[in-house]
Amino acid sequence: MTTTETLTVVPHWIDGAEYPSSSGRTADVYDPALGVVTKRVALADRAEIDAAVASAKKASEAWGELSLAKRQSVLFSFRELLNARKGELAEIITSEHGKVLSDALGEISRGQEVVEFACGMAHHLKGEYSEQVSSGIDVYSTRQPLGVVAVISPFNFPAMVPAWFFPIAIAAGNAVVLKPSEKDPSAAIWMAELWREAGLPEGVFTVLNGDKEAVDGLLTHPDVAAVSFVGSTPIARYVYETATAHGKRVQALGGAKNHMLVLPDADLALTADAAINAGFGSAGERCMAISVVVAVEPVADALIAEITDRMAGLRIGDGRRGCDMGPLVTRVHRDKVASYIDVAIADGASVVVDGRDVNPDGDANGFWLGPTLIDRVPTTSRVYTEEIFGPVLVIVRVASYEEGVDLINAGAFGNGTAIFTNDGGAARRFQKDIRVGMVGINVPIPVPVATFSFGGWKDSMFGDTKAHGAEGVKFFTQLKAITSRWLDPSHGGVDLGFPQND
């Protein structure tokens, strides 16, 4: 095994190149399938935070003045390079996060949708124009960049979540400082290198590795105009409150407890497939994972039988071996998720499948926890109320559609939800009744495509503007309205009255 002294240290990326840290602080980066430290990552100090922001500020001034045509040419180049080499990025993600290669490739493809959306920024930045709103007066609007924007991303999607933000921000003329998760930082450096190869000027895309010190430095830095964040609800609330208190524009996407409502008329085979895919994909480490199946009786027993039958065929192991589900990201997180099984038992729930009994196709030291299915969970249990962020699927039984909707709406989170039914009227009613930001109808993970915007309600979202789509363009630009009058030589005179339209 590699000794600590010889481990590679993942650096920052400042001024268009690797920027070795001098802070003296690092954190371990694991291969979750092997359970060993494979490298270390630099943790920024105040001087490195200031250097990153100063580089971005300088770059933003020139980049924002560059023509849209030239900016978009860089976006197109980045898109082509990413498409050609996404296999490299997927391998990096699997080696540090643990998700299987196919899931890593899917993550990259969803991020690439936003890159492609940003390639049309010339259209998205078009303003409005009204002629002759008053005699000889026209009014029009433009959208201009903010300057330096920060993106603080979580461990579960080291490529896709940053890509929800940086393509739009860059295409709109901003410079981006990305603070990736210290658990899997290498994807960010890889993307920085790709931006350089695509022709992006130095300083327009910066990677600042770090922990809370780096986060706080970006939230309070006077030269950072806006912050995009994705993570747990307590931290999202902290980011929102801290950054807004320092005068910044903020979009902070928090946690979730996503429900799938299953009506008695649903296709149970389709529903069971969906529950497996949405509950255990990426080891449940998704903010859009389905973690609660709300079964309207008498469907629960038959649905559980379908789900357990499929769970028996899942192959758990190293994501590089063609398995269905990989490990959790760290040993600490694995142990925390596993502890909820004991909580469920203590609260009187029935553990149908216990993931702690898994026999993985991988190294014994990996951070393994198999798919877990728990029935009859009380809604007062922490297993129901808290975001577990792991492969634990809960069954809650209700007597009616109305009881199921009331249950979902009573929750603190409002990120995503789904209904499975063959009744079009019930589905249409559900999409209106439910107080959740993203809704799936016979679709278990209702993540909208890049042309629409991503974000939840209630404690799943802090800030007024959602990610990507038209909302993303609004977030990364500021609107300016211009009132224009070109006078002919015959016009003149003084009038101190309030201007009126005539």
Q: Which residues are catalytic?
A: 287
For residue 478, give the 3-state DSSP assignment: strand
Distances 64 to 57, 70, 274, 479 between C-alpha atoms, Å? 11, 11, 44, 15
Neighbours of 423 (CB within 10 A): 15
Note whether 261 and 419 are within 8 A (CB).
yes
List % helix, strand, coil for the chain (3-state, nearest 5): 40, 25, 35
For residue 9, give the 3-state DSSP assignment: strand
Q: Which run of H or E residues covers position 280? A: helix 268-280
For residue 374, give the 3-state DSSP assignment: strand
Residue written as token pair 């930082």: 185
Using alpha carbons only, give the angle 350, 354, 359 rounded to the nearest 5 degrees: 165
35: left (phi over 0), alpha (psi -120 to 50) or beta: left
51/308 Cα distance (integer angstroms): 53
Backbone phi, then psi, for 267, in 5-degree steps? -75, 105
Nearest one of 5, 356, 326 to 184, comparing CA atoms: 326
Using alpha carbons only, give the angle 426, 429, 435 rounded to the nearest 5 degrees: 125
Concatenating the DSSP letter of every residue in 198-266 gives: HTPPTTSEEE---SHHHHHHHHH-TT--EEEEES-HHHHHHHHHHHHHTT-EEEEE----EEEEE-TTS
Nearest one of 203, 201, 207, 170 to 187, comparing CA atoms: 207
Amino acid in the structure at residue 200: L
Backbone phi, then psi, for 295, in 5-degree steps? -95, 120
Note whether 254 and 233 are within 8 A (CB).
yes
Nearest one of 444, 440, 438, 442 to 420, comparing CA atoms: 442
